[in-house]
């Protein structure tokens, strides 16, 4: 009977040790479960293994409960319980120890899997951060290049539009004047002829100066047509068109044997700039007929 009591005591000690190991494993499993839950989105396979481990723990817990029940029965039976029941209980405890050891090994493997998964996660996070930074830098550089090109394109388009608008405005600007020589008189050589009887003008801002000086001052740059027609009684009379003090065209008025009055006409095209001066000047003494017989016309063509 003493031997049976010793075996019972030993069995009860083994059970308590097994129960403690079971509790420690269950706590370790709880910690591991919390850690694995953080990484569950990265590895579904690990999650599956954890659920399998939970089932194994549940089975082991059920078996522990069964052993506990058997021990309670054993305590009630005392010395009258058959030896074979003790042996069966020892065998169950041995099986439970083996399963607990197996579960412990699996938990260690799960820990290694978790550590490897955690390292992989951190490395992936680092790689992602580097790639995200590089992508952000590349996108920023691309955005800057696009903005620069858009700015340059906008400036070019604005400049082109401004030039076109200026050209359209210049082409649309009307500048013209037609004036007659109002005096029936003799004009001395080298005189500026004043066509101060203005019949028509448009776009002329200095009309009074033209009348007083006989000189047309260009107010708008462009291509101009200049026409001068003079009727003279003098044979071989000569007049010229001047631009900024330079003779740019000469006209000789020949004599007509059938009529002493004769006309000389000169028509030229000239590119004028703002501030240019144009006038008609006599090169020889001449007697000029007045009214509509002698005229001076300037028209901005373009």
- So what's the pLDDT on residue 62? 78
H or E stretch at 247: strand 246-253
Residue bearing tokens 């850690």 = 35
- So what's the pLDDT on residue 125? 76
- So what's the pLDDT on residue 294? 96
Q: What is the pTM of this model?
A: 0.47
Q: List, for the chain, all residue ranges whose pLDDT scores fall below the cut of 50.
A: 80
Sign of dihedral through CA atoms 152, 156, 161, 162? positive
Please state the domain extents for the chain. 2-137, 172-300
Q: Which of 124, 127, 145 is nearest to 135 (CA)?
A: 127
The model's pLDDT over 131-160, given as tens digits with 9 standing for 90+, comes to: 878 878 887 887 888 888 878 878 887 887
- So what's the pLDDT on residue 73? 66
The model's pLDDT over 15-62, given as tens digits with 9 standing for 90+, comes to: 677 777 667 767 766 766 676 667 666 666 666 766 776 787 777 777
User: Which residues lie across from 297 on neighbouring strands?
Assistant: 178, 227
Write the class of the CATH domain 172-300. mainly beta
């Amino acid at each position: 009977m003493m031997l049976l009591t010793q075996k019972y005591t030993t069995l009860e000690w083994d059970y308590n040790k097994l129960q403690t190991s079971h509790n420690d494993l269950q706590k370790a499993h709880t910690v591991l479960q919390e850690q694995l839950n953080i990484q569950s989105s990265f590895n579904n396979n690990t999650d599956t293994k954890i659920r399998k481990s939970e089932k194994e723990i549940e089975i082991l817990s059920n078996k522990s409960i069964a052993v506990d029940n058997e021990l309670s029965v054993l305590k009630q039976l005392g010395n009258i319980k058959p030896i074979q029941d003790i042996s069966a209980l020892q065998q169950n405890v041995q099986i439970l120890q083996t399963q607990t050891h197996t579960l412990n090994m699996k938990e260690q493997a799960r820990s290694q899997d978790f550590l490897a998964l955690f390292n992989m996660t951190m490395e992936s996070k680092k790689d992602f951060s580097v790639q995200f930074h590089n992508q952000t830098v590349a996108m920023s550089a691309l955005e800057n290049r696009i903005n620069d090109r858009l700015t340059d394109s906008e400036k070019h388009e604005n400049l082109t539009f401004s030039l076109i608008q200026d050209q359209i405005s210049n082409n649309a600007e009307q500048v013209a004047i037609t004036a007659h020589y109002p005096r029936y008189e003799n004009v001395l050589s080298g005189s500026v002829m004043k066509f101060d009887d203005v019949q028509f003008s448009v776009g002329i801002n200095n009309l009074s100066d033209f009348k007083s000086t006989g000189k047309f001052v260009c107010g708008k740059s462009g291509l101009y047509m200049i026409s001068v027609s003079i009727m003279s009684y003098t044979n071989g009379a000569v007049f010229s068109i001047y631009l900024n003090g330079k003779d740019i065209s000469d006209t000789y008025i020949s004599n007509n044997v059938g009529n002493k009055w004769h006309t000389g006409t000169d028509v030229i095209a000239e590119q004028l700039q703002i501030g240019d001066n144009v006038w008609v000047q006599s090169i020889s003494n001449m007697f000029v007929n007045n009214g509509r017989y002698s005229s001076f016309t300037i028209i901005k063509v373009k």
